[in-house]
Amino acid sequence: MITVWGGQTSRSIRVVWVLEEMGLPYEIRQVDMLAPVQDPAFLAVNPANYIPAIQDGGVTMIESVAIMEYLMGRYGPTPLAPAPGDPAFAAYQQFLHLGEAGLATLMMPVVVSRFLAPEAERENWGATWARECVERRLDLVRARLARAPYMAGEAFTAADISVTYALNLGGKHAGFALGDAEQAYIARTTARDAFKRAMERSHEGLAPA
Ligand SMILES: N[C@@H](CCC(=O)N[C@@H](CS)C(=O)NCC(=O)O)C(=O)O
């Protein structure tokens, strides 16, 4: 049984979404990132104290996109991951990683400055720089959507799981304006049954909001 540490609306949704798309059995262990003292059982899994993490038999892993690649490689093949010989492969790889390394990672200084920084430090230079970088990078997603319904082309792949998370983070928590094309894209990807199941399972064991 695969254990996913994370839950709620964190990046663990990427992992749970892949698990649901692939029909793999798993359990979720909720981790409260705002807890004053972190659960020692989770710190034993990821001493750096961030989510998601997985345990799969003797394997322990962190980093959402790496975990996605692990699951698809270990339990695939799956249409979520085009093979290297597939014409969609390069775009797939690029957007799979752009979703985290190019977008979501850089959104974090914007999010934490907005919600956690002292008032006087909200408009700090680093967060402003990160915001401008993300805006330019979002243009890559916009340009892609002008030519294709999904990041890798005509078919939904794990690159869409990666980028959908980033767009949601940017739109809901970092104040990025998403245009009609990006919103229609999110509606398209999150209409999938696997996403809906992933959202339900990710809130398992939590009191209703
Ligand atoms: N690059 C990492 C980022 C993980 C990350 O930032 N996770 C957030 C929740 S979505 C977190 O745990 N933040 C708390 C922290 O980093 O201290 C990944 O994709 O897994």
Does residue 51's CB lie within 6 angstroms of at least one atom of ligand 1?
Answer: yes
Q: Average of pLDDT values for 153-176?
A: 98
Q: What is the pLDDT of residues 25-66, one digit of tens each?
A: 999 999 999 999 999 999 999 999 999 999 999 999 999 999
Q: Give 85-103 pLDDT, tens digit per residue.
A: 999 999 999 999 999 999 9
Amino acid of residue 151 = M
101 lines ligand 1 (CB under 6 A): no
Sheet of strand 2-6, all strands in order from the earlier edge strand to the far edge: 26-30, 2-6, 53-56, 59-62
Q: Quick check: CB of 63 below 6 Å from ligand 1? A: yes
- Kind and range of the H or E run holding 78: none
* Ligand 1 pocket test target in 33, 34, 50, 163 with most atoms within 8 Å of CB: 50
Q: Let me know: does 157 contact 150? Beta carbons within 8 Å.
A: yes
- The answer to whether the CB of 100 is under 6 A from ligand 1 is yes
- The domains found in the chain, sorted by start residue, are 2-79+194-202 (3.40.30.10), 89-192 (1.20.1050.10)
- With 0.95 as the threshold, say if the pTM is over it: yes
